[in-house]
């Protein structure tokens, strides 16, 4: 078994690291405090080919795999999670279009994403439907050659800045099979009846836009439906299988950031007449962090490689997602502990790492949901 990255993958990883180090550190604290982001940085990332590398060449992408997308994601998150997410999630939903969209939809909606001309997102979660996605009650009802959409979505990434969103809606509310009630629709955000309200006061990833959206009699043509009616849940699960890999890469990236900050701090900081790095308790923490990060990376590397090879293992993806998320949170906690009081003030990056890390245990499937998936795959 060869764990060595190809020359191309090594170059991608190095270039992503150099870009992030050149663009993120100087403004990361500013964007975190102000809950803003400079889209010129995203456009520059698009120009350099870091955005949407998994999109097929026929639609303007690099035609690489989800594995390469994960490599970029990990490097970006290892520098700053908020800015990284603002760049990386600009194509959030392109995966779904790539798998289930029509040729016409792909040609129209995908190229602008990699050219820095459009931002997308998915609208799935609702105030009363989070982990239970089949409980989503936003409706899309057929009216001639159009669908009329009504409902509210919560915690929508890019909801306030996206050019279009892929919205998860009920098309057959009375179907006794909850898994056959939904479909996805492309909703341009300039359509009458669409309203987005930016959410403020998030714990972390504050540079990344998050919004609540309201859809009141929003009309879209039937050609905006992605896939067939009743196929929404199946499409969503396939979508999550690849996007959860991205979350694994985020988790490993921020865990790395926690480790790097810890090493730098305990080498420099002295207590009791000796550097903190000389104390065995801290040495153990560093060793454990590094080992857990390596294990989490190996999990998601294998899962991503299988996905790109056409051998998707949904249980392995779930394992990688919950384990890497848990490792990220634990490493962030240990890093702040080693910083002591200094870690509690925003002058030190570690406090931002601590706040940013928690989200990887929550979005796109909580760790509890991932464990259910693993258990069911084993128990039958």
> Active-site residues: which are they?
364
Is residue 85 domain-shared with residue 25, that is, in the same domain? Answer: yes
pLDDT tens string 344-366: 998 899 999 999 999 999 999 99
Is residue 163 domain-shared with residue 288, that is, in the same domain? Answer: no
Is residue 138 domain-shared with residue 85, that is, in the same domain? Answer: no
pLDDT at 2: 77
**Could you say which of 214, 230, 246 is where a domain stops?**
230
Q: What CATH code is carried by the domain that includes residue 45?
A: 1.10.540.10
Domain interval for residue 361: 234-379
Is residue 247 domain-shared with residue 365, that is, in the same domain? Answer: yes
pLDDT at 3: 77
Q: Does residue 198 belong to any structural domain of this protein?
A: yes
Is residue 338 domain-shared with residue 322, that is, in the same domain? Answer: yes
Q: Does residue 225 belong to any structural domain of this protein?
A: yes
**Could you say which of 67, 96, 114 is where a domain stops?**
114
What's the pTM value of the predicted model, to 2 decimals?
0.96
Is residue 247 domain-shared with residue 346, that is, in the same domain? Answer: yes
pLDDT at 380: 87
Question: How many domains, the chain?
Answer: 3
18 Cβ contact partners less than 8 Å away, ≥ 6 residues apart = none
Q: Whose CA is closest to 35, among 158, 201, 160, 156?
A: 201
pLDDT at 20: 98
Classify 136 as helix, strand or coil. Answer: coil
**Segments in the chain below pLDDT 70:** 1
Tell me which DSSP letter residue 202 carries: -
pLDDT at 130: 87
153 Cβ contact partners less than 8 Å away, ≥ 6 residues apart = 123, 124, 125, 126, 138, 159, 167, 212, 213, 215
Q: How far apart are CA 236 and CA 374, in angstroms?
A: 18
């Amino acid at each position: 078994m060869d764990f060595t990255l190809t020359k191309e993958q090594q170059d991608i990883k190095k270039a992503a690291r150099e870009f992030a180090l050149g663009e993120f550190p100087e403004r990361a604290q500013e964007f975190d405090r102000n809950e803003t982001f400079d889209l010129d940085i995203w456009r520059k990332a698009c120009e350099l080919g870091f955005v949407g590398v998994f999109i097929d060449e026929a639609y303007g992408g690099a035609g690489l795999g989800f594995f390469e997308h994960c490599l970029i994601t990990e490097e970006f998150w290892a520098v700053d999670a908020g800015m990284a997410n603002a760049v990386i999630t600009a194509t959030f939903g392109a995966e779904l279009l790539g798998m289930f969209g029509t040729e016409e939809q792909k040609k129209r909606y995908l190229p602008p994403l990699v050219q820095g001309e459009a931002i997308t997102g998915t609208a799935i979660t609702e105030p009363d439907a989070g982990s239970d996605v089949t409980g989503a009650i936003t409706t899309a009802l057929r009216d001639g050659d159009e669908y009329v959409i009504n409902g509210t979505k919560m915690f929508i990434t890019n909801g306030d800045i996206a050019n279009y969103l892929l919205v998860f809606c009920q098309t057959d509310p009375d179907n006794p099979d909850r898994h056959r009630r939904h479909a996805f629709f492309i909703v341009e955000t300039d359509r009458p009846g669409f309203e987005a309200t930016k959410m403020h006061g998030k714990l972390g990833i504050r540079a990344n836009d998050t919004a609540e959206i309201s859809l009141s009699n929003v009309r879209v043509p039937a050609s905006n439906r992605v896939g067939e009616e009743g196929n929404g849940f199946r499409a969503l699960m396939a979508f999550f299988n690849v996007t959860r890999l991205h979350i694994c890469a985020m988790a490993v990236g921020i865990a790395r950031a926690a480790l790097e900050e810890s090493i730098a701090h305990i080498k420099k900081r002295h207590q009791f007449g000796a550097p903190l790095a000389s104390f065995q308790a801290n040495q153990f923490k560093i060793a454990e962090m590094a080992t857990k990060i390596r294990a989490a990376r190996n999990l998601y590397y294998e899962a991503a490689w299988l996905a790109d090879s056409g051998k998707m293992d949904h249980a392995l993806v779930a394992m990688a997602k919950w384990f890497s998320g848990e490792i990220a949170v634990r490493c962030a906690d240990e890093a702040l502990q080693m910083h002591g009081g200094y870690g509690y003030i925003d002058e030190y990056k570690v406090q931002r790492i601590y706040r940013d890390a928690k989200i990887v245990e929550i979005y796109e499937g909580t760790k509890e949901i991932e464990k259910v998936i693993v258990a069911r795959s084993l128990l039958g």
